[in-house]
Amino acid sequence: MNAVTLPPGPSGVLRSTYRVLRSPFRDFPRWSAQYGDPFTIPTVNGTVVMTGDPALIKIIFGADPDLYGPWAVDALGPTLGQRSVFMLEGAAHSRERKLLAPPLHGDRMRAYADVIAGVARRRFAAAADASRVVTLDLAQQISLEVITRAIFGADDDERSLALQAGVLGLVEASSPLMFFMPFLQKEFGGIGPWARFRRKFVVLDALLQQQIDRVRKRPGTDVCSLLAASRYDDGDAMPDAAIRDELRTMLFAGHETTAITISWAIDLLHRNPATLERLRAEIDALGPDPDPEAIAKLEYLDAVCKEALRLYPVVTEVLRVLRAPLQLGAIEIPKGIGVSASVLLAHRREELYPDAEQFRPERFLERRFSPFEYLPFGGGHRRCIGAAFASFEMKIVLGVALARHRLTLLDDEPARPVRRNVTMSPSGGVPIRVRDR
């Protein structure tokens, strides 16, 4: 067999893994400049060929889905569950997506507008009493409560609070190392981080099952009810274990990611006064108590959210493992290797985004970007299923907050991207003061 020559890249498995985890915003651009695009990164989860070139990203997203296995299933499986859409492949994966997508789109999604606005109004109003609030904590409380109500279907405060506590217990018991280094997922006789995580997992699972039992008796318009009532193409219902896994998946995929982007947007807006002013004018034109659906249609607000996700993509790269060789431009990548579309590198290309380091939402009003140039939600057959929901939620939360409040940043320095579990989030979480306008 011929030896395979992969593109050059950094050496040292542990060192590169550490850099990927620690400083992708610094090291991906550095590696791309030093070694060219694509470049190869050795990691503890396998070797990865990474690109930020839209022409190559198009090849990755456009390839036959059967060419790929999901990435890091050993690491994520015990957390998300074996029936999670993240874990599935081939026909089972597309079958699952067909049931998951409808509740998160169109009229069904728009039905959650009032829930989102109600939660945001209440949480921001409560924050107005404090001298200091960490935006990321506040945004996470909001997105978590939204998930318990719109997705899990908790229709009263007591149930919503119990689910929020269950989730927080699990989130607090997880550590980024556990996800990236599956060999740490051992119980060691009931002690240690993994055993603690498992105990919290069981608690949340019981709460999710209670929700499923409830919505089976009394369905609502929430995602849990819709999944419980849905049928695969062959007429089979989704089993409870699968619903629990998918609810947990949506929670993990959806609540931190959305909160992080809201926090970046608030930081960036308040460090760019002209942008903030333009956005306020757009929101104020809707009147003192804007309708949440009207907020979600605002063009400049949409551009602000897009630009925050461009500059600080919460997920810096998406990964697929090859089951067969892939011709990536001039290079044939062999099976067993990971291929990665770097969201971060694509989003900072000067020829696409002039002054790429600048926060300039107008660029999204001036031109359209292809799905291979702008990809905060990944792409191809695994593109984020919650993208529309996340954008809808972010716009309503920001719109409601700015319509009613004046926010002041309390840190002089702009936030920097730092690792938080699988995602990258703003350092310090963006401390602010919230006051009524």
Rule CB under 6 A: say whether 376 interacts with ligand HEM.
Answer: yes
Cα Rg, the chain, nearest whole Å: 22
Least spacing, CB of residue 196 vs ligand HEM, in Å: 25
Q: Which is nearer to ligand HEM, 339 or 432 (CB)?
A: 339
Please report, for residues 90, 144, 238, 281, 288, the alpha-carbon distance to residue 404 in angstroms, rounded to integers and kept in the order given: 47, 21, 42, 13, 8
Instruction: Candidates 57, 318, 337, 396: give the one binding ligand HEM (CB under 6 A).
Output: 318
Least spacing, CB of residue 63 vs ligand HEM, in Å: 12
The single-letter code of the amino acid at 104 is: L
Rule CB under 6 A: say whether 86 interacts with ligand HEM.
Answer: yes
Instruction: Candidates 254, 399, 417, 426: give the one binding ligand HEM (CB under 6 A).
Output: 254
The single-letter code of the amino acid at 1 is: M
Single out the residue of 260, 258, 275 nearest to residue 361, CA to CA: 275
- The piece of 42-50, 187-195, 312-320, 348-356 that touches ligand HEM (CB under 6 A) is 312-320
Rule CB under 6 A: say whether 258 interacts with ligand HEM.
Answer: yes
Instruction: Candidates 257, 272, 342, 425: give the one binding ligand HEM (CB under 6 A).
Output: 257
For 265-297, give the DSSP string.
Answer: HHHHHHT-HHHHHHHHHHHHTT-SS--HHHHHT
Rule CB under 6 A: say whether 248 interacts with ligand HEM.
Answer: no
Instruction: Candidates 6, 20, 80, 85: give the one binding ligand HEM (CB under 6 A).
Output: 85
Q: Which is nearer to ligand HEM, 262 or 403 (CB)?
A: 262
- The piece of 120-128, 188-196, 236-244, 247-255 that touches ligand HEM (CB under 6 A) is 247-255
Q: Which is nearer to ligand HEM, 13 or 293 (CB)?
A: 293
Rule CB under 6 A: say whether 383 interacts with ligand HEM.
Answer: yes
- The CA distance from 303 to 50, in Å, is 28
Instruction: Candidates 32, 43, 45, 261: give the one binding ligand HEM (CB under 6 A).
Output: 261
The enclosing H or E element of 72 equals: none
Rule CB under 6 A: say whether 378 interacts with ligand HEM.
Answer: yes
Rule CB under 6 A: say whether 250 interacts with ligand HEM.
Answer: yes
- The CA distance from 54 to 190, in Å, is 47
Question: What are the residues whose beta carbons fall under 8 Å from the beta carbon of 156, sequence distance 6 or more?
Answer: none
Lay out the site mask for ligand HEM across 35-74 (x = CB under 6 A, - = otherwise). ----------------------------------------
The enclosing H or E element of 48 equals: strand 46-51
Lay out the site mask for ligand HEM across 413-432 (x = CB under 6 A, - = otherwise). --------------------
The enclosing H or E element of 433 equals: strand 431-436
Place of tokens 């050059």: 8
The single-letter code of the amino acid at 170 is: L
- The piece of 105-113, 157-165, 310-318, 351-359 that touches ligand HEM (CB under 6 A) is 310-318
Instruction: Candidates 149, 348, 360, 382: give the one binding ligand HEM (CB under 6 A).
Output: 382
- The piece of 108-116, 131-139, 207-215, 384-392 that touches ligand HEM (CB under 6 A) is 384-392
Tell me if 31 sits within 8 A of 59, measured CB to CB: no
- The CA distance from 109 to 111, in Å, is 5
Question: Alpha-carbon dihedral of residues 96, 344, 419, 17, nearest 10 degrees?
Answer: 90
Q: Which is nearer to ligand HEM, 145 or 196 (CB)?
A: 145
Q: Which is nearer to ligand HEM, 134 or 253 (CB)?
A: 253
Rule CB under 6 A: say whether 384 interacts with ligand HEM.
Answer: yes
3-state secondary structure of 417: strand
- How many residues in the shown chain lie near ligand HEM by CB under 6 A? 25
- The piece of 36-44, 208-216, 246-254, 429-437 that touches ligand HEM (CB under 6 A) is 246-254
For the chain, the residue count is 437
The enclosing H or E element of 338 equals: strand 338-342
Instruction: Candidates 76, 228, 315, 401: give the one binding ligand HEM (CB under 6 A).
Output: 315
Output the CA angle 87-92-98, nearest 5 degrees.
100
- The CA distance from 223 to 368, in Å, is 31
Instruction: Candidates 50, 56, 253, 283: give the one binding ligand HEM (CB under 6 A).
Output: 253
First-last CA distance in the chain: 70
Q: What is the binding site for ligand HEM (CB under 6 A)? A: 85-86, 97, 104, 249-250, 253-254, 257-258, 261, 314-315, 318, 376-379, 382-386, 389-390
